[in-house]
A and B are shown apart, each in its own frame.
Chain A
Amino acid sequence: MDEAIARYPSDHRRSAAMPLLHLWQEHFGFVSEEALVWIAEKLCLQPINILELVTFYPMFRDKPAGRTHIRVCRTLSCAMAGGFELMENLFTTLGIQRPPAGDGMHNPIRISADGDYSVEFVECLASCGTAPVCMIGEQLYENVDVNLIAGLLRNQTSNIKHQTSPHLLERRLIFKNIGRPDWTTDIDCYLRDGGYEQLKQALTLSRADIVNKVKNSGLRGRGGAGFSCGLKWSFIKPDEKRPVYLICNADESEPGTFKDRYIIHEDPHQLLEGILISCYALNARTAYIYIRGEFPAGAKILGRAIEEARTHNFLGKNILGSGFDAEVYIHRGAGAYICGEETGLIESLEGKRGYPRIKPPYFPAVLGLYMCPTIVNNVETLCHIRHIIAMGGAEYARLGRPNNTGTRILCVSGDVQRPGYFEIEVGAVTMGQLIYEMAGGLRPGRKLKAVIPGGSSAKVLRADERFKLKQKQSDGSTIEREMSIDEIPMDFDSLTAAGSMAGSGGVIVLDDSRDMVWVLNNINKFYAHESCGQCTPCREGSLWMQKITDRMLRGGGVVEDPKALKTIGDNIAGRTICAFGEACAWPTQSFVEKFPEEFAARAKKPVPPPLPPEYTPEELIEKEEIPTVPMAHDPGWEKAGAKGTI
């Protein structure tokens, strides 16, 4: 425990709250009242500060689970592949009572009568390419056969599923060693492959040199926003007096995205080398890897890699005699998607609820972790740094397209025959090539209906849409071309021009068997569950949108619903603290706009008359002699007809 506290500056002991909660829960199975008080005291906090955390992060529970706890992914790709059937079958096989229909914050944990098993729905486990997935204890199970629950429970071996050799259209840089049968996470294996040579080289360069290389490389962030990495780095003043922090964003939670997990689980030293080079370039003596809580194995692998690197003096004091010191620590999240947003992540790392901060004034590079300058970069982005050092900035920039340089890993999931990861030169592959050639096309007899091209937050593209894209030619001129979805190049600018975004690289493919209201409802549920709840539009709007699509699915859609959905989205996007606002609004806005016929078909009931106000506690009503009005917010109102008399 003290070791966990020592990972953070002594005046920021609060940061150790989540590590201590993890330790406690691992040991005792749940976080008791006693734990709250004990941890609060240990960290000089109030019990409320710990209670705030336990109730924010769904991985922490205040009651014991079953001896074997099973987490089933509920999110889109898994749901399309049978996640709900898997849950049903678990209920039946394990004799677990289904939860009562109801409205609540977390998906409840259900425990079998004998206490042997418990099940819980969780959100995307970053393994959408091998859907449906679940976690049994700390172990991930992929491509689960929903009909073979007994086998699943007996089967003790489940490894990350690998794709065979890279596709011809791929250009493997980061994923060069992923899936190789002869590859291990050992440092020796990495060293044999030329590992840490770039760190050695970087340590001989000046910091400004490295930042320039990164600028010249044109590298854009792979976490979602696609912001220029070199520009971000240049916000750190070379003569900065405060400590500078580097944070590796390993929270990978955007539905449809599952690239970072492979790097973490199979090539941890590549990430570590990227982090250490970046630390040196930014003069950051401390780096934190914020890894999502659902990667317990990944956290262990990274922990071991750090220790191995230390024995080789790749980190720690006076790295390789350069005089530069750097420490890398792992900080585990606990099931909150919003902690992928960089300022939410920083708050979480400070031991608080993952509430994103307002920008201005809290730009991480100015007022980041512990109010010090902080750079947050995605796992994949940091891996690229190593290759930029190896190749040189200009050389690296020749990969891909202008302003869309390098390679990137695309994750394809959903209705394709061969879902998985593909590393391509940015923009060198079109959507059509990706879906039909690389991912094996749609299932027999199925047609493409829609694609969500950059994680579930990205606006959906309709298969029969025509897109007008301005394309920069190699001679610098631009031409506008109309194209089909298949022709869209998979790069940042093209997908933005097509009205969506490259986002995190998670491509979710939907075929013509999908009910778009159902798909949107699944996405709505994710965002309603993951909204941190801090700012009004997102907090209230995300759940409202979900409740409308819930009702539409139950058959209670009213004519105004599509319009309501759209305007709720309009009232969220651009008006919130963080980009989660857009992330939850864009799917709704785009689904309703692009599939009006499907939404209209489910929204045929007349709008009921205005509901009378809902009066609350009886005794107050009596006291104030206000006539009690019957509760009218009954979902069954539509049965009563347009008059609304129940």
Chain B
Amino acid sequence: MADQTPFPQLLNVQIDGVWHQFPKGTRVIEACEQAGSYVPRYCYHKKLTSPGNCRMCLIEMGFPRLGPDRKPELGTDGKPIINWIPRPQISCAQDVSEGMAVRTNSPLVKECQRGVMEFLLINHPLDCPICDQAGECRLQEFSVDYGDSKSRFLENKVKKPKNVQIGTRVTLDDERCILCSRCIRFCQEIAHDDVLGFVDRGSYTVLTAHAGKALENNYSLNTVDICPVGALTSTDFRFKMRVWFLKETKSICTSCATGCNTVIGSREDVIYRQTPRENDHVNSCWMCDYGRLNFKYLEAENRLLEPQIRFEGKLVPADWPTAIAQAALQLKQFAGSEIAIIASGRMTSEELWLTSQLVTSLGVQWIDIVPRRGHGDKILLSKDRNPNTNGTRLILGSKSEPGAKLIGIADAVRSGQIKALVILKENAMHLGLPVEQLAQLPGLIVMNTLPNDVTEKATVVLPACGFAEKRGSMINGKGRLQRLNRAVRPPGNARDDWEILHDLLQATGGGDSLSSVDDVFRRISETVPQFVGLTLSKLGDLGVHILAIEELPPMHPSDGEAIEEAIAIQARRRGVRPASA
């Protein structure tokens, strides 16, 4: 049967006079776009059901004329003769079929588009200069492309609510809403949280949420992305920046193991927003609000900006060579068995590889990462809140569960076996030890973006980069290797993590000189089989699948809970020890 053939059946479709072939199941509107005849649309979204309500995608459609033998009659050119349906048809709700013909820019189609544009604009506030959507508004774009410039509407516009806080993160301006129902369908079909709906009727129809249940779900901001006009806006981003000033950088979200593909919008080294970027292997067209908004910390007041070293009991600023030298000096004092490294599942593969080199060169035996767990949903958000747990498995080569060795490290610190602790992009409080205990350590080397309780007690502080400030790769929960890209430069004297690690490695006498993060990746590809044949550039915008992973490791408590639990464990041990001794 045709359905079972490995290759989808190809159908012949005539678009604007030219015959093309499309696989069975292609939407007419998509086929037209692929053939270079873009059909304007508002309500249609390829990831949502098609209600066909905006009527912007009307086209002319026809089918081959059948002869008495039920076979298409052929014209002089040997191609089927088309019987055109007199009425325009929407192209967003039908799939192509054999012999179908469409016209996307006939006079009738243009007339339809002009008509719909006029209808959409009569009750729409014509104040694009102050609308936040300006620059990415489909209404604005299409009215230029498909509409008339002159309005002949002489009546009062329908008044609707403005500035409605429809949820904590989303603001609604009903006067701008063109009632395309994309946001409603998104909530029903993707977020599984049926909170939006239309009330009233006809031209007075208004989008709203019930007073008792607002748009609070963790995916609410996707409605802002898909709203074709400026009706739904991000309360966070609203009026902060004109979109046309934004520099766009393709990257990934690092707030959980899903690794949603993103576009970071920034201007002059300030990030204004993150939006999802389509990747059907990872996140479709969506991302969660938690991940989307989780970039503010990069601009935190207390960002670590300068390298610091402990001098006469106090942390004092130092230049990079001094700080690196100091760190190397402290490490070289001790045997590998006296050093522990706490790395992070938030580090890139390149950083992890350099860390693994450090481990080898110093002969370190204790190394682990901090597991970071939260509740997951069945949508995108992963239980694993570390974006690169799989990278740590593959590159650090750890056999045990993430975090399994933390108790051992804590014990070793307390027993005095460990003399130097290197903490990379983590909070050592996860060890559950009192901060005073850590302060006793002769070497407490911290590399991070933000300070924490332990940073104060460090012997060396190495200010590093956040996810949007660097380039590198991570392996998501499903085994896909994806690339982060630098959207903004790090503040102050903070440096790219890989450079810090690379310099530290060299200063401790290991490794050789590498000139870019791409070089590091190349080294990985020489040693880690799954990376063979790849380069950072080859990962492309959508990444490459390198691991066959279905299941995620078992559930762990969240960050805060984990710290508390670790403290409790350590407290118990302290309590138990003397008794058993």
| Contact in complex: A537, B203 (CB < 8 Å) | no
For the complex formed, measure the closest distance between the CB of B194 and the CB atoms of chain A, giving whole angstroms: 5
Tell me whether A46 and B194 are in contact in the complex, defined as CB-CB below 8 angstroms, given that A536-B119, A577-B53 are known contacts: yes
| Contact in complex: A539, B127 (CB < 8 Å) | no
B residues in contact with A336, CB < 8 Å:
201
A123 at the interface (CB under 8 A from B): no
For the complex formed, measure the closest distance between the CB of A202 and the CB atoms of chain B, giving whole angstroms: 35
The residue of chain A having its C-beta at the shortest distance from the C-beta of B126 within the complex is: A613
A558 at the interface (CB under 8 A from B): yes
> In the complex, A340→B515 CA distance in Å?
73
A534 at the interface (CB under 8 A from B): yes
| Contact in complex: B158, A103 (CB < 8 Å) | yes
| Contact in complex: A614, B127 (CB < 8 Å) | yes
B196 at the interface (CB under 8 A from A): yes
| Contact in complex: B203, A540 (CB < 8 Å) | yes
B367 at the interface (CB under 8 A from A): no
9-residue interface stretch from B54-62, B373-381, B553-561: B54-62
1/0 per residue, CB under 8 A from A, across B95-132: the answer is: 00000000000000001100110111011011101100
A residues 547-563 with Cβ under 8 Å of B? 547-548, 551, 558, 560
| Contact in complex: A558, B154 (CB < 8 Å) | yes
1/0 per residue, CB under 8 A from A, across B409-430: the answer is: 0000000000000000000000
| Contact in complex: A610, B151 (CB < 8 Å) | yes
1/0 per residue, CB under 8 A from B, across A560-600: the answer is: 10001000001110111100000000000000000000000
9-residue interface stretch from A148-156, A366-374, A617-625: A617-625
| Contact in complex: A37, B119 (CB < 8 Å) | no
A residues in contact with B152, CB < 8 Å:
560, 564, 607
> In the complex, A571→B94 CA distance in Å?
22
| Contact in complex: B203, A539 (CB < 8 Å) | yes
* Cβ 8 A contact of A571, one of B115, B150, B195, B208: B115
* Cβ 8 A contact of A48, one of B54, B116, B118, B196: B196
A541 at the interface (CB under 8 A from B): yes
A residues 523-543 with Cβ under 8 Å of B? 528-537, 539-543
A47 at the interface (CB under 8 A from B): yes
For the complex formed, measure the closest distance between the CB of A547 and the CB atoms of chain B, giving whole angstroms: 4
| Contact in complex: B51, A360 (CB < 8 Å) | no
A104 at the interface (CB under 8 A from B): yes
| Contact in complex: B202, A610 (CB < 8 Å) | no
Tell me whether A624 and B155 are in contact in the complex, defined as CB-CB below 8 angstroms, given that A48-B195, A574-B87 are known contacts: no
B210 at the interface (CB under 8 A from A): yes
B residues 292-329 with Cβ under 8 Å of A? none
Kindly state the interface size class of chain B when it binds its partner.
35 or more
For the complex formed, measure the closest distance between the CB of A468 and the CB atoms of chain B, giving whole angstroms: 21
> In the complex, A613→B128 CA distance in Å?
9
A residues in contact with B197, CB < 8 Å:
48-49, 51-52
> In the complex, A548→B198 CA distance in Å?
26
B512 at the interface (CB under 8 A from A): no
Interface size (A, Cβ < 8 Å)?
68
For the complex formed, measure the closest distance between the CB of B442 and the CB atoms of chain A, giving whole angstroms: 56
B residues in contact with A33, CB < 8 Å:
211
Tell me whether A37 and B198 are in contact in the complex, defined as CB-CB below 8 angstroms, given that A540-B203, A571-B118 are known contacts: no
Tell me whether A46 and B210 are in contact in the complex, defined as CB-CB below 8 angstroms, given that A52-B197, A543-B202, A611-B151 are known contacts: yes
> In the complex, A613→B199 CA distance in Å?
28
B residues in contact with A547, CB < 8 Å:
155-156
| Contact in complex: B125, A616 (CB < 8 Å) | yes
A55 at the interface (CB under 8 A from B): yes
B residues 206-242 with Cβ under 8 Å of A? 208-213, 239
> In the complex, A608→B152 CA distance in Å?
10
| Contact in complex: A353, B198 (CB < 8 Å) | yes
| Contact in complex: B129, A626 (CB < 8 Å) | yes
Tell me whether A55 and B202 are in contact in the complex, defined as CB-CB below 8 angstroms, given that A46-B210, A534-B51, A535-B55 are known contacts: no
Tell me whether A535 and B154 are in contact in the complex, defined as CB-CB below 8 angstroms, given that A105-B202, A361-B93 are known contacts: no
B residues 155-188 with Cβ under 8 Å of A? 155-159, 162-163, 175, 178-179
| Contact in complex: A48, B210 (CB < 8 Å) | yes
* Cβ 8 A contact of B93, one of A36, A358, A548: A358
| Contact in complex: B154, A608 (CB < 8 Å) | yes
> In the complex, A441→B94 CA distance in Å?
51
| Contact in complex: A531, B201 (CB < 8 Å) | yes
A544 at the interface (CB under 8 A from B): yes
| Contact in complex: A615, B127 (CB < 8 Å) | yes
* Cβ 8 A contact of B54, one of A360, A529, A535, A551: A535
For the complex formed, measure the closest distance between the CB of B115 and the CB atoms of chain A, giving whole angstroms: 3
A residues in contact with B94, CB < 8 Å:
360-361
For the complex formed, measure the closest distance between the CB of B27 and the CB atoms of chain A, giving whole angstroms: 12
1/0 per residue, CB under 8 A from B, across A42-63: the answer is: 0001111101100110000000
> In the complex, A56→B208 CA distance in Å?
13
| Contact in complex: B115, A610 (CB < 8 Å) | no
A residues in contact with B211, CB < 8 Å:
33
Tell me whether A531 and B55 are in contact in the complex, defined as CB-CB below 8 angstroms, given that A540-B122, A614-B126, A617-B163 are known contacts: no
> In the complex, A49→B212 CA distance in Å?
12
| Contact in complex: A533, B205 (CB < 8 Å) | yes
A residues in contact with B127, CB < 8 Å:
613-616, 626
The residue of chain A having its C-beta at the shortest distance from the C-beta of B117 within the complex is: A536
B245 at the interface (CB under 8 A from A): no
B204 at the interface (CB under 8 A from A): yes
For the complex formed, measure the closest distance between the CB of B26 and the CB atoms of chain A, giving whole angstroms: 15
> In the complex, A541→B118 CA distance in Å?
10
B200 at the interface (CB under 8 A from A): yes
Tell me whether A46 and B213 are in contact in the complex, defined as CB-CB below 8 angstroms, given that A536-B53, A614-B125, A620-B130 are known contacts: yes
B residues 422-468 with Cβ under 8 Å of A? none
| Contact in complex: B198, A52 (CB < 8 Å) | yes
| Contact in complex: A48, B194 (CB < 8 Å) | yes
* Cβ 8 A contact of A624, one of B123, B129, B162, B178: B129
A635 at the interface (CB under 8 A from B): yes
Tell me whether A575 and B203 are in contact in the complex, defined as CB-CB below 8 angstroms, given that A48-B197, A51-B210, A360-B93 are known contacts: no
21 interchain pairs, CB-CB under 8 A: A45-B194, A105-B201, A533-B179, A533-B200, A533-B205, A534-B51, A535-B55, A537-B116, A537-B119, A539-B179, A540-B122, A540-B123, A542-B202, A570-B115, A571-B119, A575-B112, A614-B125, A616-B125, A623-B239, A624-B239, A633-B157
Chain B residues within CB distance 8 Å of chain A: 50-56, 58, 87-88, 90, 93-94, 111-112, 115-116, 118-120, 122-123, 125-127, 129-130, 150-159, 162-163, 175, 178-179, 194-205, 208-213, 239
Pick the 4 closest A-B CB pairs, nearest first.
A571-B115, A105-B204, A540-B119, A55-B199
Q: List 6 other contacts, CB 8 Å, given A55-B199, A626-B127.
A: A48-B197, A56-B201, A104-B204, A536-B54, A575-B88, A624-B129
